[in-house]
Chains A and B, each alone.
Chain A
Amino acid sequence: MEVKDALIQYCLRLGDDAMIMGHRLSELCSNGPILEEDIAMTNISLDLFGQTRIIYTYAAELEGKGRSEDDLAYLRPEHEFQCALLTEQPNGHFGNTMARQMIFSVFYYHLFKELSKSPDESLAAFAAKSLKETTYHMRHACEWVVRLGDGTEESKWKIQDALNDIWSYHHELFEKDEVDEKLIDMGIITDTATIADDFYASVNEVIERATLGTPAGGWKATGGRSGRHSEYLGHILSVFQSLPRAYPDAKW
């Protein structure tokens, strides 16, 4: 695999994760449990869409086939998306949303810290920019996990169940295939294994402060990085892509 091809795929994965996660949070617009959280989650969603645009634009530029960020978002079929299955999982109740967000943003916080040192200037700039935003997302989610865990009896079992359920999906974030191997060999990205300790330390700190139990091992979800998705992605795309597919080249 050529380095350039690997980098394109890697950027698409970063973008797909951010976009699908952003879409899930945008579904809470006007549906948040309280006004402040409605606003918080749509703000986070907006940051994620902004990150998506930056990295898709770079991927399209590297590809050089005349595709735009919009083409990548709106005109690719389901199996060409390489988002982690975690990002597709439904919002469920607020505890499910926050458990998912905590894992997602803690992982990306540590990843972006490393990627911001990449010798690839565009990737490093994207990561440095995203890191600042992700820090706020992470604090927001971590604080909610603590409030729910160390809250009422009901909020406690709900967030514990949510954490146990989503835990099976975190392993995929650390997966590596030939795309990652190539970029690690070339020194362009960091091996996710090097951020594993920091990731688990952060998650454990949250769990401890939330007076929760460590989520059980269980099974490991996989498939997203090779385009094999859960049922949910098709439904997401059918909503997300409906307008540009029904009205090709529609302009605002």
Chain B
Amino acid sequence: MEAAQVPVIRENTEAIWEVLETIPDPEIPVISVVELGVVRDVLLEENKTQVIITPTYSGCPAMKQFEDDIVSTLESKGFPTVEVKMVFSPAWTTDWMTNVAREKLRRYGIAPPQKGSQDKGVLFDSGPKAVNCPQCNSSATELLSQFGSTACKAVYKCKDCQETFDYFKCI
């Protein structure tokens, strides 16, 4: 495990983390912003709450929604002036996603990212060899496109059940 993988929960912020765990990813509502790994730190001061987040992809259009949802949810729960700060280092990686979150993705119909598979062939790589179909669990699947409905997903097809499905690609 990388040191940065699990954010340290500071004293007095447990209640804030609990609320954050109820805020869904706006595009994949079965997992929370915490499970996705975008929340990196939370600081609570006398009259200020600061939530530090990092984007999944630089251009992810959901990030603004993450920010708005975090601010409105925390403020509605009575936390003082909520500020969301964006950091870029360390860069977000799918390795931060918990096993629980991976299982939720699979049940939702998205094949979860495979852990620690970033060091593949650099110039040419047709994706992980065995991405199991989230519908029928067959390993006979093929990559249709490295880019899917959002930047974080690739499109695969199952040769057994013939379904096309999203694969949350590793980054």
Which A residues are within 8 Å of any B CB, using their own CB? 36-37, 39-40, 43-44, 46-51, 53-54, 106, 109, 121-122, 124-126, 128-130, 132-133, 135-136, 138-140, 142-143, 146, 202, 205-206, 209
Contacts and interface: CB of A to CB of B under 8 A. Distances in A.
Contact of A43 (B88, B144, B147): B147
A140 B59 contact: no
Nearest to A122: B88
B151 A43 contact: yes
Interface residues of B, number: 30
Interface of B is mostly: loop
Contacts of B155: 36
A132 B145 contact: no
Interface in B71-97: 87-93
A140 B58 contact: no
Nearest to A205: B123
Interface centre among B57, B59, B87, B171, by most A CB within 10 Å? B59
Interface of B: 55, 57-61, 87-93, 118, 122-126, 144-151, 155, 169, 171
Given A54-B88, A133-B57, A133-B171, A46 B151 contact: yes
A132 B33 CA distance: 21
A139 B145 contact: no
A97 to B, nearest CB: 14
Nearest to A38: B147
A129 B57 CA distance: 8
B94 to A, nearest CB: 10
B55 A36 contact: no
A49 B123 contact: no
A197 to B, nearest CB: 15
Given A36-B155, A129-B88, A133-B171, A50 B59 contact: yes
B91 A146 contact: no
B58 A53 contact: yes
B63 to A, nearest CB: 9
List the 9 closest pairs (A to B, CB-CB), nearest first.
A50-B59, A50-B58, A125-B89, A40-B147, A46-B59, A36-B145, A125-B88, A43-B147, A129-B91
